[in-house]
Structure 1
Amino acid sequence: MRQRYLALLSVFASLPAMALTFQTRLESTEWKVEGDKFECRLTQPITDFGTGEFVRRAGEQATFRLKAYNPMLTGGSATLLAAAAPWQPGRGDINLGSVRLGSGEVLFNSSQMQAGRLIGGLLEGRSPLIRHSAPDGRVSEVRLLPVSFSKSYADYQGCVAKLLPMNYEQVKQAAVGFPGGGIELDAQAKSRLQAMLSFMKADPTVNHIQIDGHSDNSGNRLTNRDLSRRRALAVMDYLKANGVQESQVTLRFHGERYPVAPNSSAANRAKNRRVSVQLERLEPAADPAPKVSSAGGAAATS
C-alpha cells in the first residue's frame, strides 16, 4: 500500500504547471456515510474545495455530485473520468462523458449511469476525476481517492438496504383503479395504498390525504356521481382501517366530469373508473370529520 501512495504522489507531482488540482492528502483521505430511510450519502471531503458525494434517494439509483465551498469551477462543462491508478500500468482512464457545471454550491449532479461506473471504478482502485478547461487554457482538476473505499461502501450499502421503497415524489400521487366496475378495492389498489401508508408512517410531516372519486359515463349523471362517491369512501375506509385519522382526509367525488381518456371504448371507460389519491403536508385540521364534496359543490360533511 505504501508503494501505491508513493506512486500517487509521483503522478500528482508530475502534473503540468498549468493544471490546478484539488485533492485531499492521502493520509487525510476519508469516506463518510450518512443517511436515513429517505436518503443515503457516501462523501469524501476535498481539501480547500468542497466534497464529492454519492447520493441515493429512496426509490432511485445513486447519482454523484460535486459541491464547492466557493465557485471555483463555474460555467461550461467538465469531463468526468474514472482515472486509472498509477500502480496499475497499462490501464487508461475511462471517460464517462461531460457534465454541465452550475454556479451554486452543487456544481453538478451526474447521471445514474455515470455514478454506477464511478463506484465500480473506485472498487477497482480508480479515482473519480473532474477536469475543467477554461477558455484561457487553464486546466483545473478535482480528484477523489479510492483509499478505504471498500469498507465505507459496505457501510453505505447497509444504509441503502434500509431505504424506503419509494421517495415522496414517487409515492405522493396514485390512481386507484376499478377496471371491472363496482366499488371493491383489488390487490393492486391495496398495494398502492400500502405504499402511501408506509411513507406516512416513516415521515410524520406527510399528514394529509386528498381523495377524488371518478366514474365513466356509463350511467346517468346522478348514478355516476354516487359511484364516484362510494369508490372514494372505499379508499377512505381502507386508509382509516390502517391507522389514518378522519381529520387527515379530504374527500371529493366528481362523477364523470374529469375523464382521463375519452369514454369511447371499454378500455378507456375502465381507465376513468378510478380514485385519485394525493399525499400532502398540511397543518393539522381542526375539524375531526372528513370534508366531503360533490363535483363543483361546497364542502360538506358526510
Structure 2
Amino acid sequence: MRSFILILIGLLMSSSLSALTFQTRLEKVAWQVEGDQFECRLMQPVTGFGSGGFVRRAGESARFQLHAHDPWFSQGSAQLVAAAAPWQPGRTDVTLGQVSVQSGDKVFTSSFEQAGRLLSGLLEGRSPLVQHRQRYGGGPLEVRLLPVRFEKAYQDYLGCTAKLLPVNFDQVSQMQLSFTGGDVELSEQAQRNLDHLLIYLKADPSVNHIQLDGHSDNSGDRLTNRELSRQRALAVQNYLVSKGIPAEQITLRFHGERYPLVPNNSKANRAKNRRVTLKAERVTPQPTPPSAPAGGSPDNKAAQAHTAASL
C-alpha cells in the first residue's frame, strides 16, 4: 500500500511538472472579426483555454491580448514568441520579449511593437506563442494560436480598422490648450485638438459634459490675470458652441494665476501656465427637484442661481 501511494505521488508530481499546451485542432481553427468605430478585434478561440488575438482602439495601434476562462496563469512574466510552423523547415522562432501577467480574465496586453511583429509573423505563417508556467508551482504552460485561415480574416479586420475614429475617449477626455503671451485667441493647434474632440463627441453622445478651467501666468496683476483666464476659457467655450455643443453641457471656471503647473520663474514655464484645461465626461442627469411654491422666499430663489466662476 505504501509503495502504491509513493508511486501515485510520483505520478502526480511528474504530471504537475509536465508541459501543458493549449491549441485548437487544425480543422477547427477560426479567426473572428468584430468591432465598431471605437474598437476592432481579431480573435482566435483556443479550445479549453479562452481566446487570443488583436485589439485595436481608435487612435492607437493594435495590441495582442490573451483571455482565459480559468486562472491557468500565475502572476509574473510570460514570454511572447512568433513561432515558426513545423512545415517551415529552416525557420527559427522569434522571441518578442516579456509581457506582464495579471490576475483575472485578461491575462495580459502586449506592447504595440510586439503586436505589430506578431501580425507580420502571422502573414508569414508564424504562430503567436505564449510561454509561462502553471499556477501553484506547476510545470511549463503554453498557449499557441495558429495562422490557419488568417489572411481572409485579416482583410476583414483591416476593413474594420479603416472605419475607426481618429481618437479614443482617453485621448480627448482631458487636454490642455496653450496660449501665447497675453493672447486670448485659439491657436491653430488648439483648434485641431478641439476638432478631434468634436469628432468623438458626435460619435459618442454619452459624453455629455465638458469642464473648462482658464489659467494665466503671473505677468500681470491679479485682476488682469483673472480676466485673461476668463477670456481664454470663453474662447474655448465659444468655439465648442459654434460647432454645435449645447452651452448647458459646458461648465466654465477661471482662476488667473492661482494654480500654476510649474513655477513662473522662466519664459518657458510661464508659457506652460497660460492654458485652458478641458475635461470631458459622462454625467448622469440628476432628478429634477419638486417645483417651489409660487412666491417662494428670496433666499430660495437666490440659491437657484449658479455661477461657475472661481474667485
* Bigger Cα Rg: 2
- Residue 292 of structure 1 deviates from its aligned partner by 4.0
- Work out whether residues 42 and 53 of structure 1, in 8 Å CA contact, stay in contact via their aligned partners in 2: yes
Amino acid at match of 1:176: L
Give distance in 1, aligned partners of 2:62 and 2:160.
Answer: 12
Distance 1:267 1:133, change over 3 A: closer
- For these two proteins, the number of residue pairs brought into alignment is 279
Q: How does 1:46-85 map to 2 (within 5 A)?
A: 46-85=46-85
Q: What's 2:284 paired with?
A: 283
Aligned-pair distance for 1:79? Answer: 2.2
Q: What do residues 159-209 of structure 1 show as CA deviations (whole Å, max 9, x unaligned)?
A: 112112221111111112211322211211111111111111111111110
Partner in structure 2 of residue 148 of structure 1: 149
Q: 1: distance between equivalents of 2:137 and 2:200?
A: 51
Q: Secondary structure at the match of 1:56?
A: strand
2:308 to 279, 285, 293: 293
Q: TM-score, normalised by structure 1?
A: 0.86
Counterpart of 1:119 in structure 2 is 119
- Contact preservation (8 Å) 1:229, 1:253: yes
Could you tell me how far apart the structure 2 residues matched to 1:166 and 1:146 are? 30
Give the aligned partner of residue 247 of structure 2.
Answer: 246
| Unaligned 5+ runs, structure 1 | 1-16, 297-302
Which consecutive residues of structure 2, in runs of 5 or more, have no partner in the other structure? 1-16, 289-304
In structure 2, what is the Cα distance between the partners aligned to 1:85 and 1:144? 11
Report the alpha carbon displacement of residue 37 of structure 1 after superposing the two structures with TM: 1.4
Q: Indicate if the aligned counterparts of 2:182 and 2:228 stay in contact, CA closer than 8 A.
A: no
Measure the CA separation in 2 of the matches of 1:109 and 1:18: 26
1:33 is matched with 33
Check conservation: 1:250, 1:291, Cα contact below 8 A.
no
For the residues of structure 1 that align with 2:39 and 2:137, how far apart are their CA atoms?
Answer: 40
What is the alpha-carbon distance in structure 2 between the residues aligned to residue 204 and residue 72 of structure 1?
39
In structure 2, the CA distance between the partners of 1:265 and 1:120, relative to structure 1 (3 Å rule), is same
Identical-pair percentage:
60
Name which of structure 1's ranges 39-48 and 169-178 shifts more when overlaid on structure 2. 169-178
CA distance in 1, matches of 2:228, 2:96: 54
Question: In structure 1, the residue corresponding to 2:308 is in which secondary structure?
Answer: strand
How far apart, in 2, do the equivalents of 1:278 and 1:291 lie?
20
Question: For residue 47 of structure 1, what is the amino acid of its counterpart?
Answer: T
How far residue 283 of structure 1 moved from its aligned partner, in angstroms, is: 2.4
User: How has the CA–CA distance of structure 1 residues 68 and 221 changed in structure 2, closer, same or farther, with 3 Å as cutoff?
Assistant: same
Deviates more, 1:54-63 or 1:239-248: 54-63
Per-residue deviation, 1:51: 0.2
Aligned counterpart, 1:216: 217
Q: Normalization by structure 2: what TM-score?
A: 0.83
Q: Which amino acid aligns with 2:214?
A: G
SS at match of 2:262: coil
Q: CA 1:106/1:236 → structure 2, altered by over 3 Å: closer, same or farther?
A: same
